[in-house]
Amino acid sequence: MKHIARKRFGQHFLTDVAVIDAIVEAIAPQPGDAMVEVGPGLAALTQPLVERLGRLTVIELDRDLAVRLRAHGQLDVVESDVLKVDFTALAARLCADGVVAKKVRVVGNLPYNISTPILFHLLDHVNVVQDQHFMLQKEVIDRMVASPATPDYGRLSVMLQWRYNMHNVLFVPPESFDPPPRVDSAIVRMVPLAQPPTINFKTYHDLVQTAFSQRRKILRNTLGKWLDEQGFEGEFDLQRRAEEVPVHEYVALAKATHPK
């Protein structure tokens, strides 16, 4: 029976074989990798992945699709909302299950309506992740990888770039899907930094959120007040807009505001 895409789950199923091959090539799965696929859907990407891996764990919320996936002998199905999955616990189980890997590799065609919450959820588990390859709305990836002083540079750029090296690796047009989405898509590669800066994450989160709360204003009018409330007495150029400040300066400011 044909599965009808469900709008409430943000389902758009990848059907272009050439694109699927290019994605698998970019991921480069190896036997022994502990890999987790988020939102496998109709298994268009799942099947070529598992053929290379031997075994694959998939996370699927749609009950009907989960039933189909369980019939596949090489898949371990986690039927759950991905935002409720404890990736740290999942990684501990997978990496103790006889595979060579010490960390998990995460891949998937993320539901575009909740892609940012998923990225932040995984950030909480970044210490057990080897790398991530995701299909996302192209404009979201443009913001993720943006450089300072460009229109796409914003809160998402700063919140992710302190912890990942990220690259836009492949453009995916709407006609590659059934049904076609109304937006362009792309594949992003996210590799956690081997030696990330040590910061108080809540301080960093609050700092960045405050800085970009009114991004057209100079920071003296937004971040300046927040820094005064923190008792900050150091030097920082507040005569700039939030989008003009590089990630390493936000990190340094978070360290100076709340040293660990």
Residues belonging to the binding site are 12, 14, 39, 60, 81, 109
29 close to 9: Cβ distance less than 8 angstroms: no
Distance CA(238)–CA(242), nearest Å, equals: 9
231 close to 197: Cβ distance less than 8 angstroms: no
* Residue given tokens 């920082």 in the structure block: 236
Distance CA(61)–CA(9), nearest Å, equals: 8
* Residue 184 identity (one-letter amino acid): D
Torsion of the alpha carbons at 19, 13, 120 and 237, rounded to the nearest 10: 50
Q: Enter the tokens of residue 242.
A: 């939030």
199 close to 255: Cβ distance less than 8 angstroms: yes
Q: How far is C-alpha 222 from the geometric centre of its chain's CA atoms?
A: 28
Annotated binding site for S-adenosyl-L-methionine: 12, 14, 39, 60, 81, 109
